[in-house]
Amino acid sequence: MKLTVRYEHALVFAHNIHRGQWRKGTDIPYMAHLLAVSSLVLEAGGDEDQAIAGLLHDMLEDQGARTSFEEIQQLFGGEVARIVRACSDTEELPKPPWRDRKAAYLQHLDDADPAVLRVSLADKLHNSRSILTDLRENGDELWERFNASREDQLWYYQGLAAVFAQRLPSPQQRDLAEVVDKLASTEVGMVTDIQ
């Protein structure tokens, strides 16, 4: 699959929108996550629209004041904009309560098409891997970075793993399930037991 100049333009656009943004509790530029998601999409057989959506997947949810569905659609086409919107758990500001958004997102994935599932799975796989890495490095204080408790985060990621197991069986889905199992099996205060 060939990437065209559209992908290059999406990289620049993503960098401009997310410039100055960091991964929660780290000094890692947010672009690292977007590049990882796009890479995972390509590794899973995604096309250029899906790879671009991987770069842009958090824009409406987290940077809606700096861009819009209409701008993404104008710049990168209707399919990219549709996937980005479908990978967002809200476009509202202020955001609705965390648990409500995540429950609705899990339900939404039950009907999502393969393109949306592929981008969403790449996002959730990279996020869960990052959580596991940070848990190994920082211990239980990691959970304080989030807007929800450890228990709520585990509920969400276990729900995601179950949905993807049913809707998109794949090596990446199995990787997500394995990471989520490691997160769930780690007792508070027993971080060194994660292998």
pLDDT tens digits, one per residue of 166-179: 999 999 999 999 99
**Residues belonging to the chain:** 195
**Separation CA 75–CA 90 (nearest Å):** 21
Query: Which of 48, 49, 61, 134 is flagged as catalytic?
Result: 61
pLDDT of 194 over the 50 cut: no
8 is catalytic: no
Domains defined along the chain, listed by start: 5-193 (1.10.3210.10)
Strand partners, 22: 29
Query: Tell me: the pLDDT tens digits for 113-157?
Result: 999 999 999 999 999 999 999 998 888 888 888 888 999 999 999
Query: Which of 62, 79, 140, 152 is flagged as catalytic?
Result: 62
Task: Give me the pLDDT at residue 188, please.
Answer: 57
**Separation CA 130–CA 146 (nearest Å):** 13
pTM for this predicted structure: 0.93
61 is catalytic: yes
Mean pLDDT across 36-61: 97
